[in-house]
Amino acid sequence: YMDWWPISLYVNNERPPFNDRDVRWALSYYIDRQQLVEVGYLGASTASKLPLPPYPPLAPYFDAVKDLLAKYDTNEFAPKKADALLQGKGFKKDGEGFWADAQGKRLKLDIIGFGASGPAIGPVIVEMLKRRGVEAGMALPPDFDDRFQKGQFDGAIYGHGGSINEPYATLRLYQGASIAVPGAHQANFARWKNADYDKLVDEAYAVAPDDPKKLADVWHRAMAIWLPELPDIQLVQNYHRIPWNTAYWKNWPTEQNPYVNGAHWHLTFAMVLWNLQRASAA
């Protein structure tokens, strides 16, 4: 099933050259999401256009920004557009085919990852970027969480613990004030700041839950800022693939009985334990 954790390639917006939105868009244009799904997940995934899952309650908010996504296609694979953006920033290919700035410093992206998503798609992304002239690398450090939360990275593969039924929780992930929340889950890991966007997030917080039309308007205005900036690079939706053994216990969460998500690493797994029933054959 689809988790609430769409996965992105985060780049540290506080570190040059990733503080430049044209560089972020160039990296995005170099990534072929279809190939990423085919190679990284053997076809068993879907590309993610926005940092929230396409759950039914969120469908109106996807519809609300169709016009923006038509202009800022976060899944577009367009290497020539990427080349033009980098050239416009003064990058040129060196003798080995890597992009380098006017001082000869290569465009380098060291990516860190963890868990299942890092090993699945990290090496694929690295190869895509290297073939286009970005000196990319991949590592799975044991202190990933600490480094990621403190902003001690250039690139990272991670998800979004944001919205499931309305967009505020995802909007909040990119508010400047949340950068300083130590150890937080819902924090601004991209380390992107925009004062006008922050004001819109506060405006969204004040909208009543029974006024989706007004919330959709605020959401659209916020994404009109967010999408051109592209604080992190959209990759794929996250799917949980969790097998159960019914030899001794039954009433696991299933598609027919989805009383809670089945992730045993989530705090909600206690609800699964409370609902298990002894199998008749046990």
Per-residue confidence band for 178, with pLDDT thresholds at 50, 70 and 90: confident
DSSP-assigned letter for residue 112: E
Partner residues linked to 112 by β-bridges: 139, 156
Spatial distance between the Cα atoms of 231 and 170, rounded to a whole number of angstroms? 13
Q: Are the CB atoms for 10 and 114 separated by under 8 Å?
A: no
pLDDT of residue 273: 95
pLDDT of residue 185: 61
Q: What is the pLDDT of residues 132-176, one digit of tens each?
A: 999 999 999 999 999 998 899 999 999 998 999 999 999 999 999
Q: What's the mean per-residue pLDDT of the chain? A: 94
pLDDT of residue 181: 64
Q: What is the mean pLDDT of residues 94-111?
A: 97
More reliable by pLDDT, 22 or 151? 22
Element (H, E) at 222: helix 212-229
Show Cβ contacts of residue 127 under 8 Å, excluding neighbours closer than 6 positions: none
Percentage of the chain with pLDDT > 70?
97
Spatial distance between the Cα atoms of 241 and 39, rounded to a whole number of angstroms? 17
Per-residue confidence band for 260, with pLDDT thresholds at 50, 70 and 90: very high
Partner residues linked to 278 by β-bridges: 249
Domains observed in the chain? 7-241 (3.10.105.10), 245-282 (no CATH)
Per-residue confidence band for 180, with pLDDT thresholds at 50, 70 and 90: low
Per-residue confidence band for 282, with pLDDT thresholds at 50, 70 and 90: low
pLDDT of residue 183: 58
Q: Are the CB atoms for 69 and 49 separated by under 8 Å?
A: yes
